[in-house]
Amino acid sequence: MGAHMAQEREHGVDPEAAHAAQVRELAAAGVLRDPVWRAAFAAVPRHVFVPWFFTGRGAGHERLWGEDPDPARRARWLRGVYSDEPLATRLRDGELVSSSSQPSLMAKMLSALDVRDGHNVLEIGAGSGYNAALLCHRLGDGLVTTVDLDPDIAESARAHLAELGYHPVVIAGDGARGAPARAPFDRIIGTCSLPRIPHAWLGQCRPGARVLAPLSTGLIALRVRDADFAEGGFQHTPAYFVPLRGSGAAPGAPAGGIPYELLANERFQFMLLLTAGALHPREALDLWRREGRPARERFGVTVTRGGQWSWLDDPQGPYVWPLGESGQSG
């Protein structure tokens, strides 16, 4: 890609400058307060992991790529790569199956993961490999394992990582089953949306481990006590991810009787999805209003061998709901 990068500079788009500008923007936004993570973002260029991406939806999507013979389109590609936006990297029959997450959200999640030197980390959802590269820079290759269901995606991530000299363990497999041969883990991070927490993860964690994963439209941070129990609350940050494929769709939230302006309310949508199957929409609406339109941080999740529950304010009640059935693991 080096020859094309030189041509980009000739057309006023410098990849190194674009990368540096993004790091400055993320720092200015307050998401790179930890100098270790700022150094990681500065060391790992996103464009290596996103050689192409798609804009638009369905049959109307457009592919932008770094090897396009048109310098203007290459410039559009590079500007897109260094925007603070999620990028669609894999489509199948017009449906999104893999993406490169929004960099600012990645930074927030890595900070919330609370990684320490020597921690063994499992990532569920290898995607482009970009997040794994950041973890490798922070921890070293030997302490990072990343899993993706799709062998092509896993191999592509492996190749992108190797291009920059990173060699974590990349597994093509069922993310809900974790990576038992690489356990025990101190941290597990999910980069795909879950309907509930795969119980197998708990048994692969050390006591006191932290699990951070997208659930509903939020990020749940669980402390693992042992193979049979984990509990924790939601972060403030909204989070939208491609679902964990093979695990079954997250339970839908019926919208009957809910005013459109509330369905468009991001915080209410979070609660509606989190309690789907346990509360009727009108019940969810009444509770949401009665409790003062609760923010994400007031909700939490408990995971046991016997089941999984979401709750408001207190895991002992009075507002506790079973999470949806998990379906097939993926």
Interval 92-110: pLDDT, tens: 877 788 889 999 999 999 9
Interval 182-198: pLDDT, tens: 999 999 999 988 889 99
Residues 159 and 56 in one domain: yes
Tally of domains in the chain: 2
**What pLDDT score does 206 carry?**
97
Q: How far apart are CA 106 and CA 122, in angstroms?
A: 15
Residues 48 and 181 in one domain: yes
Residues 187 and 287 in one domain: no
**What pLDDT score does 247 carry?**
44
Residues 160 and 307 in one domain: no
Residue 32 sits at φ, ψ, to 5 deg, of: -125, 50
Q: How far apart are CA 151 and CA 81, in angstroms?
A: 24
Residues 13 and 90 in one domain: yes
Instruction: State which residues form the domain around 283.
Output: 260-322
Residue 98 is among the residues annotated as catalytic for this protein:
yes
Q: Could you say which of 171, 191, 211 is where a domain stops?
A: 191
Interval 12-35: pLDDT, tens: 568 999 999 999 999 999 999 999
Q: Are 206 and 290 in contact (CB under 8 A)?
A: no
Q: Could you say which of 191, 208, 241 is where a domain stops?
A: 191
What's this model's pTM, rounded to 2 decimal places? 0.90
Q: Could you say which of 191, 206, 226 is where a domain stops?
A: 191
Q: Determine which one of 83, 98, 104, 310 is catalytic.
A: 98
